[in-house]
Amino acid sequence: MTSVDVHPTKTWIVMGHEEGDFFIWDYQEQKVVMGLQVNKVPGKTSRLKHSISQFIKETAVPHSVRSVKFIAQKNWLVVGDGDGYVYVYDYTDTELSEVKKFKAYRKNSVDSLAVHPTRPYLLLSSYFDRNIKLWDWKDLNNDPVKLKEFYVKPASAYEDGVHSVKFDPRDTDTFACITFDNKVKVGNINSSSLTTKVLRPFKGNYFFTHSHQHLMVTLSSKSQSEVQNIMYVKNQIWDLKTGKVVHTLGVGGRKVRHAAFHPTLQKLVTVLDNGTACLWDTSTDM
């Protein structure tokens, strides 16, 4: 599993996979309501070529689904893949139909998506590219698609890309991203420059501000079994106002690979390194 998102009004969780598909799971009905094979499953030859190429330059698995995001106000689901394409699907009446497809990154994957709360904007970022991009979907019929870019200056020539990007629901024109040198960079859609807010030296993969809390989920790069004599960085939820840990995530010592907050309810979805999806109630001690 490569990505996860929660629908703001329906009891749906969407999950993307390295095999080039996604499915939407109804966590109340406990069933799959729809799904789609976006790209063909890479064959053995393609996977072998990709594995060898990683010794030269790290890239995403070709044809994989790397990111998924609901745009509930349009009844859309957006998918980013390992080849740099963005697909937009309409899911009205639980039938998927393609609305738009465009190339966002020439040679790099689309690994993170963020939807503006009130305006027709979608943010995109890549693990392997220094530019965050903004798509205005009111220009849906424009071809080629025009994307505004925000340059993320790396700390060194070896630190490329962005872990994730999120809009701030309090200041909706502001967004934050977490870079591979473990810094939070803050930008505004009306400006091309980003400022840096340096946090603690832990791996932070997801940034989120709840309606009444300012939270950050930090995800470790190692599972507990891999760190016998190495300092273990826990998967934690931090309150950025107080600087304190409000909860430590953990299920059987497994690594949390992905996390997504519900946009309106106090719910958090996490995906473990074995593919298990967990639903947390953030209004309790979880």
Q: What is the DSSP string of 217-248?
A: EE--SS-GGG-SSS----EEEEETTTTEEEEE
pLDDT tens for each residue of 234-268? 577 777 566 677 777 777 777 777 777 776 677 78
pLDDT tier at 179, thresholds 50, 70, 90: confident
Same domain, 183 and 259: no
Cα distance between residue 225 and residue 232, in whole Å: 10
- Tokens 């859309």 belong to 76
Range of the domain at 223: 211-286
**Residue-averaged pLDDT of the chain:** 80
pLDDT tier at 135, thresholds 50, 70, 90: very high
3-class secondary structure, 55: coil
Whether 202 shows a pLDDT value over 70: the answer reads no
Same domain, 286 and 150: no
pLDDT tier at 58, thresholds 50, 70, 90: low
CB 88 within 8 A of CB 67: no
Q: Identify which of 50-59, 78-87, 157-166 has the greatest average pLDDT.
A: 78-87
Which of 210, 226, 256 is the C-terminal boundary of a domain?
210
Same domain, 175 and 33: yes
How high is the pLDDT of residue 198? 52
pLDDT tens for each residue of 92-123? 987 899 999 999 999 899 999 999 989 999 99
Whether 133 shows a pLDDT value over 80: the answer reads yes
Which residue, among 92, 86, 143, has the nearest Cα to 110 in the 3D structure?
86
Count how many domains the chain has. 2
Same domain, 27 and 126: yes
CATH number at residue 71: 2.130.10.10
3-class secondary structure, 225: helix
**What is the token pair recorded at 59?**
């890239």
**What is the token pair recorded at 58?**
């790290």
3-state SS, one letter per residue, for 90-112? ECHHHCCEEEEEEECCCCCCCCE
CB 112 within 8 A of CB 165: yes
Same domain, 202 and 242: no
Whether 56 shows a pLDDT value over 80: the answer reads no
Same domain, 68 and 199: yes
Cα distance between residue 70 and residue 73, in whole Å: 9
Reported as half-sphere exposure (CB side, CA atoms, 13 A), residue 113 has a value of 30
Same domain, 200 and 218: no
How high is the pLDDT of residue 215? 67
Peptide bond preceding 144 in cis form (omega within 30 of 0)? yes
Same domain, 205 and 215: no
Same domain, 176 and 224: no
Which of 184, 210, 236 is the C-terminal boundary of a domain?
210
3-class secondary structure, 8: coil
How high is the pLDDT of residue 12? 96
Same domain, 59 and 201: yes
Q: What percent of the chain has pLDDT over 70?
A: 76
What pTM, to 2 d.p., does this model score?
Answer: 0.75
Same domain, 182 and 145: yes
Same domain, 222 and 281: yes
Cα distance between residue 267 and residue 13, in whole Å: 11
Which of 149, 178, 210 is the C-terminal boundary of a domain?
210
